[in-house]
Structure 1
Amino acid sequence: MAKFYSELTSSLREFIAEQKLFFTASAPTKGRVNLSPKGIDTFRCIDSKTVAYLDLTGSGNETAAHLHENRRMTIMFCSFTEQPLILRLYGQGKAIRPRHPEWQEFYPLFNVTPGERQIMVLTVEAAQTSCGYGVPLYEFKQQRETLINWAEKKGDSGIEQYWHDKNQKSIDGLPTQIFSD
């Protein structure tokens, strides 16, 4: 049965810390819904009402565009182990970039990772657990290094050029604000 929480309890935070994969969902007022899988050690629980993840350079920048437009975001975790559980975090998000005053508050919480683009911060309005009985069992093997290797080969100037070429607008044409603070 689904259960709602107004904040993250210590057991929910422990569950999050055990997960190797999470999904983010956002949508513009009009346009496509974006659902993205995330891995690598990029997620942090800041407190019982705030979570954040280090967003790495990718093919698009949909979440940033959607958060700039309406701030709505959902983050989901699934247990793929013996103990089934799905956890969704609903709330208001924002993108924090290196030029933003809050960068220095959040950035030290993360490991330096090639290709880092921004930090997505979610103010949790509600958390919901559900059974996860239909989610299959999977065994974690390892994180992929492909994205990190790609970013290392590009270097800082190559990453910035990639942002310029591919990350300034969403697929629906919304601005991502990648070069603003």
Structure 2
Amino acid sequence: MAVFYDEIPDKFLDWLARQQMFWVATAALQGHVNVSPKATPDCFHVLNKNQVWYEDLTGSGIETVSHMREPGNGRITILFHAFEGAPRILRMWGTGTVHEFGTPEYDALIPPEKRKAGSRAAIVIDVHKVATSCGFGVPQYQFLAHRSQLERFCDNLEQHDRASDAASDIEKKSKGIKAWWAAENTTSFDGLPALLSAHETVITPKNTYDRNAPRPKAQNGAKAGQVAQPQTQSGSGKIFDVKLLAAFSLGVMVTAAYVRVAGLRAP
């Protein structure tokens, strides 16, 4: 049964901090509904019981930002659900505000020493309703690792920006992330305005991406892009296997004893 709240209860804060991903749903007033997965470490933050924000990374689309900026719109829903442990779904309904890279509001939330590669905006959400529900229909999954491809791709672009800012190299600037924003992120799928200033700022993008850090690899021989199978069973799965083996062994022993007794009684 769903339970509704007018603010984020304290009892869910630790659980929210442990989740590895969440979903964002928005819609144009006269256009498409959009749902986006978000799954980078330390991306979602709770400011207080009625306000949260997340770091919005670069992508080929920019629907959420455009819907936040559409006059009379700004509606947004955040969805979390448990992949492991006790089942739970948690939704937050609210209205969002966009703070682009290069603005004072963005810098206050995401200083350069904490900025992820490709970060283009901070989405601040004023939450007016929270709900939890059972989550019984959500399957269990084992978390393996966060993918590094997006931040690596964005860091490659940002290297061109850093090089062009240092040497006034127009060719490198044309290959940078600001050029990508200008080409791909200034309007939405429905033609709504999206980024307004990030692609024109004179601020050089810096980030925390470590190019020398170990990169997650596919497991069990899976090729890139395939779903890797977990290498270990959950605790409940192991217990079930032990019980099944014990029951099978007991059945074999009972059958053997019966055959032995029956053979002794035979004329």
Does TM, normalized by the shorter one, top 0.5?
yes
Is 1:166 aligned with 2:166?
A: no
Among candidates 122, 126, 134, match of residue 125 of structure 2:
122
Distance 2:91 2:16 in 1: 10
1:107 positional shift: 1.7
Match of 1:100 in 2: 103
Larger mean Cα displacement after TM superposition, 25-34 or 156-165: 156-165
Larger mean Cα displacement after TM superposition, 129-138 or 10-19: 10-19
- Contact 2:181-2:195 at 8 Å conserved across structures: no
1:101 positional shift: 3.5
Structure 2 CA distance for partners of 1:83 and 1:109, relative to 1, 3 Å: farther
Equivalent positions of 1:15-164 (< 5 A) are 15-41=15-41, 42-69=43-70, 70-108=73-111, 111-155=114-158, 156=161, 157=173, 158-164=176-182
Distance 1:26 1:86 in 2: 18
- Secondary structure of 1:20's aligned partner: coil
- Secondary structure of 1:36's aligned partner: strand
- Contact 1:39-1:143 at 8 Å conserved across structures: yes
Give the letter for the 1:24 counterpart: V
Structure 2 CA distance for partners of 1:81 and 1:117, relative to 1, 3 Å: same
1:15 positional shift: 1.6
Among candidates 195, 198, 204, match of residue 177 of structure 1:
195
- Which structure has the highest strand share of the two? 1
- Contact 2:23-2:37 at 8 Å conserved across structures: yes
Distance 1:64 1:123 in 2: 15
Structure showing greater relative contact order (alpha-carbon pairs closer than 8 Å, 6 or more residues apart): 1
- Secondary structure of 1:11's aligned partner: helix
1:108 positional shift: 4.2
1:103 positional shift: 2.1
Give the letter for the 2:187 counterpart: K
- Secondary structure of 1:102's aligned partner: helix
- Which structure has the highest helix share of the two? 2
Distance 1:111 1:162 in 2: 22
Distance 2:10 2:30 in 1: 37
RMSD: 1.7
Q: Aligned residue pairs: how many?
A: 181
- Spell out, residue by residue over 1:42-74, the C-alpha distance to the aligned partner (whole angstroms, 9 max, x if none): 111111111100100011110000000111000
Match of 2:168 in 1: none
- Contact 1:169-1:175 at 8 Å conserved across structures: yes
TM-score (normalised: structure 1): 0.94
Give the letter for the 1:8 counterpart: I
- Contact 1:52-1:119 at 8 Å conserved across structures: yes
Give the letter for the 1:117 counterpart: R
- Secondary structure of 2:64's aligned partner: helix
- Contact 2:94-2:129 at 8 Å conserved across structures: yes
- Contact 1:50-1:122 at 8 Å conserved across structures: yes
Structure 1: gaps of 5 or more residues: none
Larger mean Cα displacement after TM superposition, 142-151 or 156-165: 156-165
- Secondary structure of 1:151's aligned partner: helix
Quote the sequence identity (%). 38
Structure 2: gaps of 5 or more residues: 162-172, 202-267
Structure of greater Rg = 2
Distance 1:24 1:179 in 2: 23
